[in-house]
Amino acid sequence: MKKIRIAQIGICHEHAPGKIVSLKRLPEMFEIVGVVNDMESSKTPRCGTPSLEPYKDLRWMTEEEVLNTPDLDAVVVEVPNNELVSVALRCMERNLPMHMDKPAGEDPALYRKLLDGCRERNLPFQMGYMFRGNPAFQFCIRAIREKLLGEVFEIEADMNHCYGGEEYQEYIGKFPGGIMYNLGCHLIDFVVAGMGRPENVTPFLHSAPGYPASIRNNCMSVLEYPHAIVTLRSCSKDRANTFGRRIRIAGTEGSIVFSPVERFDGKPVEISLTLTKDSGGFPAGEHTLRFQAQTDRYANQLIELAKIIRGEMKNPCTYEHDYLVHEVTLAAAGYTKWR
């Protein structure tokens, strides 16, 4: 089967090195045409200076060279957060299917224009919310939708960490929405996939001890549903780091708890499932569900992208879902008022 000829525009996004490594691990599926180094052209906040090591042996190209490459099948957009949509718009205008990283910018109208353009052209468009390829999160989404736990009335989730040092705190301080804008979107994508549109969204944007109020690195957001409350947290000073990230889902007939939410040490992610009665093929009682150990955070999503481009499957995430996720993200990060 013909390989997907793909190029990566940008190396300055936090997920950029991981994305190119994942593409390299899928040589039977992707042919990497080249990479655009945006270190000089990027003007909006980015986290540190990216390493060039993941891109060795790849061809360096300009954006124009990429956009004018004959028979290019797709692009991966990995420029800094607030440049993602503008670059993706140029790709859309060239009718290029794309994977675009998160979040979708501070201008919802511009993102709406991008999604509308992709819809009109029937262009495959995939957002880079990193838990979409995580089997444990996919199980939880099904559990919510199929009422495995009965009616869900509470979800608690966090995206805490302590990586990046003081440079990361300075970086987060450059976004009015702070860490909720930068990382909360991953959790919002998960919650919206399971629960749909909330009735209300309330942000709580604070600083961790020892930091000025302008550095919003200790945030929470509350999403309200008719009979459920969702609390999302993200702080960049949690000594448990990413290994302490936790999900708890409570329903009228059971609960799910798991932490860590992802791991790449060869061990499986384990979900603790408790049911008050037989449900979804599980007997009442306590269960430990073990999901196959992941070796790559992004591979499942990129494989899905290839299948979508080839017409082997429909995109499980609609343009409408992607826009709703960003609507909630902007409200959760204090950019907009929920309506």
DSSP codes joined into one string, 145-196: HTTTTSSEEEEEEE-----SHHHHHHHHTTSTTHHHHHTHHHHHHHHHHHH-
Q: Are 188 and 157 in contact (CB under 8 A)?
A: no
The mean pLDDT of 152-158, rounded to a whole number, is 98
Q: What is the pLDDT of residues 252-296, one digit of tens each?
A: 999 999 999 999 999 999 999 999 999 999 999 999 999 988 899
* Phi/psi-derived region of residue 45, left when phi > 0, alpha when psi is between -120 and 50, beta in every other case: beta
Q: Provide the 8-state DSSP code for 268.
A: P
Q: Which residues, 6 or more positions from 285, have their beta carbon under 8 angstroms from its beta carbon?
A: 274, 275
Which tokens belong to 1? 């089967």
Mean pLDDT, the chain, integer: 97
Contact present, 190 and 137 (Cβ < 8 Å): yes
Q: What is the reported pLDDT for 293? A: 87
28-84 pLDDT per residue, tens = 999 999 999 999 999 999 999 999 999 999 999 999 999 999 999 999 999 999 999
pLDDT, tens digit, 9 for 90 and up, residues 82-138:
999 999 999 999 999 999 999 999 999 999 999 999 999 999 999 999 999 999 999
Alpha-carbon radius of gyration of the chain:
20
